[in-house]
Amino acid sequence: MTDWPYPRWIAHRGAGKLAPENTLAAFRLGAEHGFRMFECDAKLSADGVPFLLHDATLERTSNGRGVAGELPWAALSQLDAGGWHSRRYAGEPLASLEGLIRFCQANRHALNIEIKPTPGTERRTGEVVANHAARLWTDATQPPPFLTSFAPDALRGALAAQPGLPRGLLLDTLPAGWLATALALGCVAVVCNYALWDAATVAQVHAAGLRALSYTVNDEWAAERLLALGTDGIITDRVDRFSPA
């Protein structure tokens, strides 16, 4: 991708910590703060519906219990995914990937979908999420959803299902062969824990024709360092601190 079509600033899970993560309320709040690209986490219900949730289990961010991927969407959609955060958001439901995509298209926002599989469903989750994203993202004048994952098998599934959608490899460390893995997966970017980037690694990624993005950047000193290094994207919780303009 010679011309990178995405904004530099990306709101993490909608609005970081200011609203219940991965809910439509969070994306609306992030948009109110001026953000035009959002990151979300997507996994599959037991009946194959892609929905937004970071954890494998429901307890931290909803009033549900157990492994989320073992429940059908009809049950998941009835849960309260906002009350854990604050009374203001009590009753906010879990969001489907379809609902978020429709929101982003209607408002001309860009979207980074992190494929977050329930353990053991990596490849299938990558395939289904990619197929849904390709089917639902109908506006060719907007950049397509950017698919990322820590799980190479999820990215392999996405590549097999929808090779035209851009992909990025998420990394929390730099194991041997990390760049070769990203290239073998046909990725257009590497998305690292921000502390991993230095001048040499940024240059290495750029020399390979890929982009360098960072998560989760919440301090001004870290953002300034990444900008000085010439990185291409910053995922942040602090939608109230950083101006995406």
Catalytic positions: 12, 54
- Within 10 Å of residue 134's Cβ, how many Cβ atoms? 18
Give the Cα separation of 191 and 217 in Å (integer). 12
CA atoms within 13 A on the CB side of 186: 17
Closest CA to 123 of 89, 161, 82: 161
- Residues contacting 230, CB < 8 A, separation 6+: 202, 206, 212
> Residue 8, class by beta-carbon neighbours within 10 Å (0-12 exposed, 13-18 middle, 19+ buried)?
middle
- Residues contacting 237, CB < 8 A, separation 6+: 12, 13, 16, 17, 216, 218
Closest CA to 39 of 237, 241, 186, 196: 237
- Residues contacting 221, CB < 8 A, separation 6+: none
Reduce the DSSP state of residue 159 to 3 states and report it: helix
